[in-house]
Structure 1
Amino acid sequence: MDHRWILNQSIIQENPPRCYASLNISCVKTVYPMETRTFMYILFSFIIFFTLIGNLLVIITIIHFKQLHTPTNYLILSLAVADLLVGGLVMPPSMLRYVETCWYLGNTFCKIHSSLDFTLCTASILNLFLISVDRYYTVCHPLLYPVKMTTNMTLFMIFVCWALSVLVGFGMIFLELGILGVEDFYYNNVACEGDCTVFLIIITTGFGGHTIVPNVATLS
């Protein structure tokens, strides 16, 4: 048995499984045992379910009760919408990618998925920032709060938040800003069929000047 196991491992190392067996440029695939894959699907499904239910309850509660129609709750509503869309649009395809370790949904949907990921994560972060600004005025400047944080101002900030998020998310992916200037390196060393990753360039500053460090980031 030991010799057979070593032989099987050698064969796998020499001929690793790929996302598309017929393509030489296909990505290398990690094959998990069936028990592990089943557990991962169940775990991720529970996370998606509770993400959807929790944020949906927040949205319904704020919309239904008129006494909750306040600037602060509008910001919380915007945050809940962003997180609900993450749970409904981003997390299910990401679950398939993590468990199967390959992307089988096509390059176009990969770009849409990555754009939505960038957009909704950016919107969540900006909404949290706006909520912190709202809380700051509530605690530190209570007399100025009704003047500064009006309903119209809050709605305007929410609009700017989502507009910037869409601009950053879809602009970054569809304009391929992440590989700007290093297209040859990306297509020769990183890109492969069956993958859906976001390629970013990190510029670090040291004593000798700027150093460009390529980095591949997989969102969600």
Structure 2
Amino acid sequence: MNLTELNQLDYCLNISCTERPGSPAVYILLYVFAAIVVLLTLGGNLLVILSVFHFKKLHTPTNMLVLSLAISDFLIGALVMPPLLIWIIESCWILGQRFCISLSISLTFLTCISIYNVVLIAVDRYFALSNPFLYMNKVSVMRINVVIVTNWCVWVVYSFALLYFNGIVSSWTKCPEVCSLFLNEVWSVIDLVFTFIFPSSVIIILYSGVFVIAKKHATAIRELSKQTRSQTHTESMKSERKAAKVLGILVSVFMACLLPYYIQSLVVEAQYVQKSIVIFCLNSTINPVIYALFYPWFRRCLKIIITLQIFQTNSGLLNVIS
């Protein structure tokens, strides 16, 4: 056995799984809680997906972006959260290297998709508020769908490039009880720039602009209400401001969930950041709650779906917006 192998063996022994310190009842409760979180994530996002797909009135450019985010959140709940929660409960990795590779690929891809879905939502809201007439003429559902598909394709390519050129075989630790993807220095910088620094900067800059514009609109609405009885333009401006406010809350929660992972990943070793990854993934659970609290159309859709009215003829043509 050479020196490298001895060092690897010592490293693996130092981080090997320890015996469970708690009682079986504690672990059962932890697994029940984990199952509830996963089911809430899957169920909440599935309701968003069904709502936007089924009801024709919801086929707007902004809602297509919300749909894309809900799909990525659903996949995070299905592919990432279960092994990640098992990893935390067990205090070490027990699912083997193949599941480790699968988790790393899914986590890399879906994290990027979620981040850039939020970036696209920020761009959409800024464009809609800063130049509403051009937005109505230029931004269509078809064009947004092309942007969304392109976004997904780009991050599929990026994820596999990241894993392939970084060394998909040699970059994973050989310890059976550890799941960690070690990036070389070049890819660490590339990944940090493209998945955190650039999108975070875009989101902060655009939403700063959104809130400035929304404040101007609020002043304009008050002046318009005093000078005219016309409701069409006033209601349109109020609607855009409300959409910006709701999506601003969504973006703020997203950033709050994203920051702990990137801050911790910069200061500790890769295998110790799984708890902050879970915090980021919990954003996928929170998003449908935000829709339920602030979107009346989602509450109406939820009622129609739960009462099975969705199976009635032409239910997709119901006006769930007004």
**Category of TM-score, reference length = shorter chain:** 0.7 to 0.9
Match of 2:125 among 114, 132, 135: 135
2:79 paired with 1:89: yes
Q: Which of the pair is proportionally richer in helix?
A: 2
User: 1: CA distance between counterparts of 2:134 and 2:167?
Assistant: 41
Cα RMSD, aligned residues only? 2.8
Q: Which residue of 1 aligns with 2:108?
A: 118
**Residue 59, structure 1, aligned to residue 42, structure 2:** no
| Structure 1 contact 118–169 (Cα < 8 Å) conserved | yes
Residue pairs, 1:176-215, within 5 angstroms:
176=166, 191-200=174-183, 201=185, 215=269
Q: How far apart are the structure 2 equivalents of 1:178 and 1:140?
A: 44
Q: Once the two structures are superposed, what CA deviation does each residue of 1:160-183 show, in whole Å capped at 9, x if it has no partner?
A: 21112222323323443599xxx6
Name the TM-score, length of structure 2 as normaliser: 0.51
SS in 2 for 1:91: helix
Residue in structure 2 matching 1:156, options 134, 146, 151: 146
2:63 aligns with 73
Cα offset, 1:214, TM superposition: 8.2
For 2:182, what is the secondary structure of its paired residue? strand
Gaps of 5+ in 2: 1-8, 190-265, 279-322
8 Å contact kept, 1:118–1:168: no
Could you report, residue by residue, the CA deviation over 1:143-169 in whole angstroms, capped at 9, with x for unpaired residues?
110233222321121012111222232
Provide the rounded CA distance (Å) in 1 between the counterparts of 2:166 and 2:177. 18
Q: Report if aligned partners of 2:127, 2:135 keep a CA contact under 8 Å in 1.
A: yes
Map 1:33-52 onto structure 2 (within 5 A).
Answer: 33=22, 34-52=24-42
Unaligned runs of 5+ in 1: 1-22, 204-211
Q: For CA contacts below 8 A with separation 6 or more, give which structure has more relative contact order.
A: 2
Partner of 2:17 in structure 1? 29
CA offsets, 1:46-89, max 9 Å, x none? 11111111100000011110111111111110000000000011
Moved more, 166-175 or 57-66: 166-175
User: In the alignment, is the contact (CA less than 8 A) between 2:76 and 2:107 conserved in 1?
Assistant: yes
Aligned counterparts of 2:167 and 2:143: Cα–Cα separation in 1: 32
TM (normalized to structure 1)?
0.72
Structure 1 residue 213: Cα displacement: 8.3
Aligned positions, number = 183
**Separation in 1, partners of 2:134, 2:118:** 21
Cα drift, residue 117 of structure 1: 0.8
Q: CA separation in 2, counterparts of 1:158 and 1:99?
A: 35
Secondary structure of 2:132's partner? coil
Flag as ranges the 4+ runs of structure 1 deviating above 3 A. 23-27, 174-179, 200-203, 212-215, 217-220
> Residue 142 and residue 47 in structure 1: after superposition, are their counterparts in 2 closer, same or farther (change >3 A)?
same
